[in-house]
Structure formats: C-alpha cells, structure tokens
Amino acid sequence: MSNLLTFLSLISIPLFLWLIDVYVSLSSRRKSYEFSGNRHADFTVLVPIYGHVRYLENAEYLSQYGGNVLLCTTGGETAEFNRGLKKIAKKYGFNIFFASWSSAQNPSSRATSGTIRDRLIRDALDNVTTEFVVPLDADSVSIEPIAVAVGELQALDGDIASVKLVPTNGDQNGLTRLQKFEYRIAMDMRFVVPWLVSGACQIAKTSVLKDIMNRHSLFFQGNDVEIGLIAKKRGYKVVHIPFEVHTALPSTFKAWYRQRLAWGGGEFRLFIINFRIILQHPFFWIYGAFIVILALPLRYISVMQFNLSLAVILALYVSLVTALHWKHKNVWLAMMPIYTIVLSLVLVPLGAVWYFYMAIKDKNMGIIKPNRKSRVA
C-alpha cells in the first residue's frame, strides 16, 4: 500500500498536469475558428466601477461606444467619486447606473471578495433594453470592435460566450511571463470547456444573463465560472469566441499573491463546496477537486521523497510542454514545473483557509443554486 501511495504521489504532479496540458493543447489545436464577419450593434457595455475613479482605466477606449456604455456604481460612493464619474460620463457620452444600496469599499485597493461587482451587474441589467449585453472590467479593452463579438454570438445562435483574454504586460518580467503561459493554456481550454466564462468580459443575450444573475450566489471568487455552470444547468447554449480582450496581469509578487490567494479560495468554493454542481463535469472535477485539492497530501509526499523517478517526470513535463508551446519562444517554459509546484503546495491549502475567511466576512457561503432565484440585498 505504501508503495502504491508513493507511486501515486510521484505522478500526481506534474504528470497529471502534463497530461491535461497535452490534452487541452491538442484538442484546441484541432479547433479552427473563422469569424463570420457578422456585426451587431444592439448591445450595452456594463462597466462596474466603485471605490475610486482611477480604476476606470479604459474610459478612452469605451468612448467609441458612447451611449452604449453603462457605468455601474453603488449608491454609497463619496461625493468626490460621483463628481469624477459624472465628469467622465459627460465627456464621453456614457450613462451611469447608481444602485439603491451602498457598501463599504476601501478605495485604496481593488476588491478580491464581496458581492459588490455581481450585485451591480445583476441590478443594472434591469435597466438594459438592448438585445445583448457585454459586462467588461474597467481595465480591459479589445482591439476589434465589440460589435464583432456580439455578431459572432448571434451567428452561432449562442446564448452566452466566453472570450479570449490576452495579457497586455506578459513580457514585463519573469512573473508576468509565467502568468502569460498560464493564460495561454487557460484560453485554449475554453475550446474544450466553453462554460469557463472569463471574468473580465462576457458576451450574452440580455435576457439570458438576467436569468443567470438572478440565480447567482454573488460570491466574487469563481463568479465567472459560476455564470457558466448556471448557464449549462439551465440549458443555455454556451460557446467560445476567440475574440481578444486585453487585460493586465499583476506584475509584483504582492499583487500576484493577493490575487492567487483569492483565486485559491474561489477554486475551493467551486470544487469542494459546490461539488454537486461541478461533478456534472467529470473531467473538470477530477482535475480541480481531486488532483489540485484532494491529492495535496500525495504531492507533499512526492516532494519529501524526491528521487530519480520524480526527476524524470519533471524532465518529461518540461520537454514535452516546451515542444508543444515552443512556437511562442518563451524560455520561461522551463520554470513552469516549479511555478506550478509552488501554486499547488502553498496556495492551494492557503486558498482553502481563505475561502472560509471570505465566506464569514461577507456572510455568503457561495452555494450555487441554478434553479432557485436569489435576490440577495
């Protein structure tokens, strides 16, 4: 039995991760996508903004959409914030949605938990009259017009779509280069599991997103995947459109650690707390719940019993992943096993603890109930 556990611990990481990476890469490469050329202009861009006006980094980019943009903020922002937001809206022709509720938010830092963002999207949808809606983070932009992505969703007869996130600062330093590689794998995975909706941007029919958000737990971490899970459970057609949306990566260790700690809490919520929902997607559940979280003790064993077998597997991971992705000419590929191990051994257990911290602080366990309306105040 001990030999079996040792063997499992040795292959749990990175061999399983390599197999998944190879599967996703090969599957996505078999997918060819050609845009139809269809464009559709009946959409509203929803941009959550609160805490500080400086977080609205894409105002100039959004200016091309003018009245199609709805800035969404709480009813409890400072007078200075409201003056600044109204000034920007007047300059570019944006509309503003002020929620009827207020919520404490530290303006000196971006939120990594809470219900503000999703409550704003949910409530603002009641004011949207266009056929399609595009929630977009305040720091994200696209090169192609949004009408292209909306037109694609219409051409595919889809209800909601994930898009392709592209880091704008992927070559800034070693940390962003490793994240850039992560993002590339994650975006490839959308071809295999399109319901992994991206948090920075979604494209959806307004009626569909209204229905989804009325059933959303509003738990911030994992909120994007929850949208996809609810959509699938309710029978909506979820598609992937490789429409490029550019977003910034955390470039300092502090910012990266803060983000990944919160993400770890979100993963624990999805895979463990909501295992009944995620279990309907066996491949994803095996990866997230079993390999990433439940197999954590085996990975500690593999590190403590480091030997030639594990060294061979690490070398296999480096060589084959490098072969798969060498066209990107990123020498930081060789560092991915170490980066993955750090994420797995340090941030996975801390993420579990952080989930309970977020759940208790926000009084929200993040339970996903696709068939029950939940209008959290």
CA distance 197 to 199: 6
- What is the per-residue pLDDT for 14? 53
- What is the per-residue pLDDT for 186? 81
User: Mean pLDDT, the chain, as a whole number?
Assistant: 83
Would you say residue 112 has pLDDT above 70? Answer: no
- What is the per-residue pLDDT for 287? 73
Say which residue, 237 or 279, is predicted with more confidence. 237
- What is the per-residue pLDDT for 233? 92
CA distance 162 to 4: 40
Q: Where are the domains of the chain?
A: 8-362
Task: Give the range among 53-62, 81-90, 175-184 with minimum mean pLDDT.
Answer: 175-184
- What is the per-residue pLDDT for 376? 55
338 with 315: CB under 8 angstroms? Answer: no
- What is the per-residue pLDDT for 114? 81
Task: Compute the Cα dihedral for 36, 41, 44, 48 and give only its sign.
Answer: positive
CA distance 351 to 333: 25
Residue 240 DSSP code: E
304 with 256: CB under 8 angstroms? Answer: no
The model's pTM is: 0.85
Q: Which residues contact 326 (CB under 8 A, 6 or more apart)?
A: 333
Please compute the mean of the pLDDT values over residues 190-219 and round it to a whole number.
91
Residue 161: pLDDT band with limits 50, 70, 90: very high
- What is the per-residue pLDDT for 46? 98
Please compute the mean of the pLDDT values over residues 2-19 and round it to a whole number.
53
For 8-362, which CATH class? alpha beta
Give CA separation, 239 vs 20, 191, 195, 228, in Å: 21, 8, 7, 10
Tens of pLDDT along 121-149?
Answer: 999 999 999 999 999 999 999 999 999 99
- What is the per-residue pLDDT for 311? 64
- What is the per-residue pLDDT for 355? 94
Say which residue, 34 or 354, is predicted with more confidence. 354
Tens of pLDDT along 238-269?
Answer: 999 999 999 999 999 999 999 999 999 999 99
Torsion, Cα 111 114 120 122, to 10 degrees, reads 140
